[in-house]
């Protein structure tokens, strides 16, 4: 049988290339995921993460090997890894976004100590995608995803691909591919069994393929079919029903191996009428692009933060699709997309540049690695098999498309381009449209994969008019695409501000293109996305104003912009009701919930008395939401808000700790630049700038659990306001 053990703990790290004879005392102890440098959230030089480091792990086999093969599996290390075991070195793995494994068996000490070493080259190597020319994002460095030790019988499963069939009929089926490797020196005859399980473990159905002969040293594929399955619940955005397929290898009565894959029954198709159909029903795609990087920690975010990004996209921003720009992202992120019903467009690493034949071979390897890793995720509906915004290269892209179709006949391909006339070799014409408009498609299916971005960078403390315009550009494009039947959807650039190279962004190593800032805190554009959520889910009422008399050109606040899913809004200034208003459906006829543009010139002019704003939102005549903003603009409190109150004592778990300075109704004060100072007590580490000079009235740090349980308290202070404190339990 196989055993899989987490190998994230008890690593030693040194930020230089060291040989085996260098004592452990030169290293520092770390837990994965790991970033090779902790940075401030901006204003740093990306050359600082570009060096070769050494990771060392001493281990004894966690249990008796009993003739099994032993593999080490890396989910991702940036950007080229040379792994050694007990002095034997494997060839370098080039690529920071795809998984790799090594068979350690021949070089292990079964009874004594073993030393695993990784020399990790985190230079921006031109021979490895995305590098070779300039790139608008940072890759950072480190073994930033999980590592596992896997022990398997010589004859074992190397992959399982589950393909639901006839999903829209009363008698759906399944086709299951199981790849089996035989590392024994004699041929083996085995039975491959497959059980379909509900997520509660209940068994629905079984099927098998018997007498599969695998010659010594070879690999074989067994395909198992299930026909006419009873009562299957389909995976959808509202009810993302998941099932498990458990594949077992049997040799007579001996169980050799088990591998379980989670999947969903759904049919996803971009059609030539221009629409995207999930289970036969057209869904208008509204989405955002996501980079996998975070402030301070680069890409080394633990499962909790990865999963939280999916939740933010689905539940805070209300979008139904995310593009994993511009590379395969964390399995934890994708798992969460499956669980909550968030569609994914996943693509290979790269940015505008195609390298030589060797580089292209790596890129083809990336197509394979991405699809073999991820083809069981029901959330993934499209493979991106073109280097983002690269020039045409028909021979290369004919190969990437053919490979994608061969590895996964169930999904369509896209290839993200910014050249309108480029060769259409994929199934879906995926186009980055930065015209601040949407062009009428020349090919269908047509999906807009980016808009806005660098055309209108916006910081969360920018002038109110700019923040409103930023939000309105997103609203305008999404409104436009929703009115175009031959456009399947639009995915805006982008969800979160991100660190970048000097050729891009605002010069402080940030592209301020997000509808949220780098800490995943909302700008007004985020409020616009949120306001498209159905009021049945929750009422949304967000004034897009800091509510002052002198911040806009000419003073006042005209029009007052509000993003809301309410039918009507009543506006009060002080105690005076200005009446009830309805959204601007005339300008935004295709949006589920058009923005409000409320005329205020009559009520608020520069040089007149000013009072608090109060909004009441009504749905079907019932008051369901209220927002107030203080007119005096005075700091009232320092707020400290962790996302969760409990972490795991695994040395890696983290929560975001948001802090902000707010008015007396809890609205952040965007122009405060107070210094906030933190003190932490207990078995955890504070990650981030401390003290932090606020920008935009809000920011965040992370709290990272150590490996001891206990209670952590964090206390924050700032001049002229009472201190704030929170407690977090580490279990």
Catalytic positions: 389, 450
The residue (of 33 and 514) whose beta carbon lies closer to ligand GAL is 514
Binding-site member from 75, 121, 124, 136 for ligand GAL (CB under 6 A) = 136
> Which position has the token pair 């030393």?
115
Angle ∠(705,711,714) on CA atoms, nearest 5: 80
Helix, strand or coil, per DSSP, at residue 142: strand
Contact 718, 638 (CB under 8 A): yes
| Ordered DSSP codes for 482-496 | HT-TT--EEEEB-SB
Give which of 218, 180, 141 is closest to 2, Cα–Cα.
180
Q: Using CA atoms, how far apart are residues 683 and 698, in angstroms rounded to an integer?
A: 26
Shortest distance, CB of residue 136 to ligand GAL, whole angstroms?
Answer: 4
Those residues with Cβ within 8 angstroms of residue 429's Cβ, 6 or more apart along the chain or in another chain: 414, 417, 441, 442, 443, 444, 445, 446, 447
In 342-433, beta strands by DSSP E? 343-347, 380-384, 412-414, 429-432
Shortest distance, CB of residue 437 to ligand GAL, whole angstroms?
Answer: 15
Helix, strand or coil, per DSSP, at residue 647: strand
Binding-site member from 388, 458, 545, 718 for ligand GAL (CB under 6 A) = 388
Q: Using CA atoms, how far apart are residues 91 and 353, in angstroms rounded to an integer?
A: 26
> Which position has the token pair 């098998």?
208
Residue 642, Cα to own-chain centre: how many angstroms?
20
Q: Using CA atoms, how far apart are residues 413 and 462, in angstroms rounded to an integer?
A: 39
The residue (of 136 and 530) whose beta carbon lies closer to ligand GAL is 136
295 strand-pairing partners:
none
Q: Using CA atoms, how far apart are residues 506 and 598, in angstroms rounded to an integer?
A: 33
Shortest distance, CB of residue 79 to ligand GAL, whole angstroms?
Answer: 18
Binding piece for ligand GAL, criterion CB under 6 A, among 154-162, 211-219, 449-457, 714-722 = 449-457
Q: Using CA atoms, how far apart are residues 528 and 542, in angstroms rounded to an integer?
A: 8
Binding piece for ligand GAL, criterion CB under 6 A, among 238-246, 448-456, 478-486, 713-721 = 448-456
Shortest distance, CB of residue 463 to ligand GAL, whole angstroms?
Answer: 20
CA 429 to each of CA 289, 320, 342, 409, 658: distance values in angstroms, whole numbers, following the listed order? 17, 19, 21, 18, 40
The residue (of 408 and 450) whose beta carbon lies closer to ligand GAL is 450
Shortest distance, CB of residue 287 to ligand GAL, whole angstroms?
Answer: 14
Shortest distance, CB of residue 434 to ligand GAL, whole angstroms?
Answer: 7
Those residues with Cβ within 8 angstroms of residue 470's Cβ, 6 or more apart along the chain or in another chain: 452, 456, 458, 462, 515, 523, 524, 525
Q: How many residues bind ligand GAL (CB under 6 A)?
A: 11
Q: Determine whether 441 is exposed, middle or buried from the number of CB atoms within 10 Å of its CB (0-12, 13-18, 19+).
A: middle
The residue (of 432 and 698) whose beta carbon lies closer to ligand GAL is 432
The residue (of 117 and 500) whose beta carbon lies closer to ligand GAL is 500
The residue (of 450 and 653) whose beta carbon lies closer to ligand GAL is 450
453 binds ligand GAL (CB under 6 A): yes
Contact 187, 207 (CB under 8 A): no
Contact 444, 430 (CB under 8 A): no
Q: Using CA atoms, how far apart are residues 85 and 110, in angstroms rounded to an integer?
A: 13
The residue (of 330 and 432) whose beta carbon lies closer to ligand GAL is 432
Binding piece for ligand GAL, criterion CB under 6 A, among 93-101, 177-185, 447-455, 543-551 = 447-455
H/E stretch holding 640? strand 637-642
Other C-beta atoms closer than 10 Å to the C-beta of 574 total 12
Residues 455-514 interacting with ligand GAL (rule: CB under 6 A): 493, 513
Shortest distance, CB of residue 347 to ligand GAL, whole angstroms?
Answer: 11
Give which of 139, 154, 161, 246 is closest to 197, Cα–Cα.
246
The residue (of 108 and 428) whose beta carbon lies closer to ligand GAL is 428
Left (φ > 0), alpha (ψ -120 to 50) or beta: where does 211 sit? left
Which pairs with CB-CB distance under 8 Å and at least 24 residues apart come from 645-648?
A: 645/727, 645/728, 645/729, 646/728, 646/729, 646/730, 646/731, 647/304, 647/684, 647/703, 647/705, 647/728, 647/729, 647/730, 647/731, 648/705, 648/730, 648/731
Binding-site member from 454, 501, 590, 603 for ligand GAL (CB under 6 A) = 454
292 binds ligand GAL (CB under 6 A): no
Residue number with the smallest Cβ distance to ligand GAL: 453
Residues 317-346 interacting with ligand GAL (rule: CB under 6 A): 325
Shortest distance, CB of residue 479 to ligand GAL, whole angstroms?
Answer: 20
Residues 54-73 interacting with ligand GAL (rule: CB under 6 A): none
Shortest distance, CB of residue 285 to ligand GAL, whole angstroms?
Answer: 18
> Which position has the token pair 């990790």?
120
The residue (of 128 and 176) whose beta carbon lies closer to ligand GAL is 128
The residue (of 31 and 458) whose beta carbon lies closer to ligand GAL is 458
Residues 607-636 interacting with ligand GAL (rule: CB under 6 A): none
Helix, strand or coil, per DSSP, at residue 83: strand
Shortest distance, CB of residue 325 to ligand GAL, whole angstroms?
Answer: 6
The residue (of 323 and 656) whose beta carbon lies closer to ligand GAL is 323
Binding-site member from 389, 408, 568, 663 for ligand GAL (CB under 6 A) = 389
Contact 22, 271 (CB under 8 A): no
Left (φ > 0), alpha (ψ -120 to 50) or beta: where does 483 sit? alpha
Binding-site member from 324, 413, 432, 627 for ligand GAL (CB under 6 A) = 432
Shortest distance, CB of residue 131 to ligand GAL, whole angstroms?
Answer: 14
Give the binding site for ligand GAL (CB under 6 A): 136, 325, 388-389, 418, 432, 450, 453-454, 493, 513
């Amino acid at each position: 049988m196989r055993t899989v053990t987490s190998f994230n703990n008890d690593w030693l790290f040194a930020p230089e290339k060291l040989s085996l004879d260098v004592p452990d005392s030169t290293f520092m102890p770390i837990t994965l995921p790991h970033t090779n440098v902790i940075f401030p959230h901006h204003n740093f030089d990306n050359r600082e993460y570009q060096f070769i480091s050494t990771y060392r792990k001493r281990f004894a086999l966690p249990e008796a090997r009993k003739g099994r093969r032993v593999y080490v599996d890396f989910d991702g290390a940036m950007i080229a890894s040379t792994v050694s075991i007990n002095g034997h070195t494997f060839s370098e793995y080039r690529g920071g976004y795809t998984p790799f494994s090594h068979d350690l068996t021949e070089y292990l000490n079964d009874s004594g100590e073993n030393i695993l070493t990784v020399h990790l080259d985190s230079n921006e190597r031109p021979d490895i995608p995305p590098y070779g020319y300039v790139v608008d994002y940072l890759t950072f460095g480190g073994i930033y995803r999980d590592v596992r030790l896997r022990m398997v019988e010589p004859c074992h499963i190397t992959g399982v691909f589950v393909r639901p069939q006839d999903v829209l009929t009363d008698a759906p089926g399944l086709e299951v591919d199981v790849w089996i490797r035989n590392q024994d020196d004699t041929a083996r005859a085995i039975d491959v069994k497959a059980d379909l399980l509900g997520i509660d473990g209940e068994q629905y159905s079984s099927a098998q393929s018997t007498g599969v002969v695998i010659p010594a040293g070879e690999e074989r594929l067994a395909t198992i079919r299930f026909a006419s399955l009873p009562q299957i619940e389909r995976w959808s955005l509202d009810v993302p029903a998941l099932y498990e397929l458990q594949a077992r290898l049997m040799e007579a009565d001996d169980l050799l191996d088990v591998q379980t894959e989670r999947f969903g029954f759904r049919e996803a198709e971009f059609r030539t009428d221009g629409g995207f159909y999930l289970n036969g029903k057209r869904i208008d795609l509204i989405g955002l692009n996501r980079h996998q990087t975070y402030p301070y920690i680069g890409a080394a975010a633990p499962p909790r933060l990865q999963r939280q990004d999916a939740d933010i996209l689905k539940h805070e921003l209300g979008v139904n699709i995310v593009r994993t720009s511009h590379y395969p992202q964390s399995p934890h992120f994708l798992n969460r997309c499956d669980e909550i019903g968030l569609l994914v467009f996943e693509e290979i690493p790269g940015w505008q540049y195609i390298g030589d034949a060797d580089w292209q071979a790596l890129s083809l390897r990336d197509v394979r690695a991405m699809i073999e890793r991820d083809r069981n995720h029901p959330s993934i509906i499209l493979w991106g098999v073109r280097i983002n915004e690269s020039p045409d290269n028909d021979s290369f892209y004919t190969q990437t498309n053919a490979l994608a179709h061969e590895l996964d006949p169930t999904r369509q391909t896209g290839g993200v381009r910014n050249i309108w006339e480029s060769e259409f070799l994929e199934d879906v014409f995926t186009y980055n449209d930065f015209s601040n408009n949407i062009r009428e498609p020349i090919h269908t299916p047509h999906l807009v994969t980016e808009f806005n971005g660098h055309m209108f960078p916006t910081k969360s403390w920018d002038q109110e008019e700019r923040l409103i315009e930023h939000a309105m550009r997103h609203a305008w494009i999404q409104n436009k695409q929703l009115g175009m039947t031959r456009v399947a959807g639009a995915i805006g650039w982008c969800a979160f501000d991100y660190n970048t190279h000097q050729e891009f962004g605002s010069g402080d190593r940030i592209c301020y293109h997000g509808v949220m800032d780098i800490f995943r805190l909302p700008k007004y554009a985020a409020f616009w996305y949120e306001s498209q959520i159905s009021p049945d889910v929750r009422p949304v009422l967000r004034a897009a104003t800091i509510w002052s008399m002198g911040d806009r050109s000419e003073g006042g606040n005209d029009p007052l912009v509000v993003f809301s899913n309410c039918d009507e809004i009543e506006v009060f200034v002080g105690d005076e009701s200005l009446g009830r208003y309805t959204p601007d459906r005339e300008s935004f006829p295709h949006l589920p919930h058009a923005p409000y543009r409320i005329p205020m010139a009559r009520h608020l002019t520069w040089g007149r008395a000013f009072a608090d704003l109060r909004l009441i939102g009504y749905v079907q005549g019932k008051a369901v939401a209220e927002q107030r903003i203080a007119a005096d603009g005075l700091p009232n409190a320092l707020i400290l808000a962790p996302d969760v109150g409990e972490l795991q004592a695994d040395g890696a778990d983290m929560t975001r700790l948001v802090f902000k300075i707010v008015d007396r109704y809890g609205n952040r004060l965007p122009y405060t630049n107070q210094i906030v100072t933190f003190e932490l007590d207990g078995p955890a580490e504070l990650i981030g700038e401390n003290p932090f000079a606020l920008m935009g009235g809000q920011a965040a740090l992370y709290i990272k659990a150590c490996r001891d349980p206990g209670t952590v308290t964090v206390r924050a202070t700032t001049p002229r306001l009472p201190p704030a404190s929170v407690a977090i339990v580490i279990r």
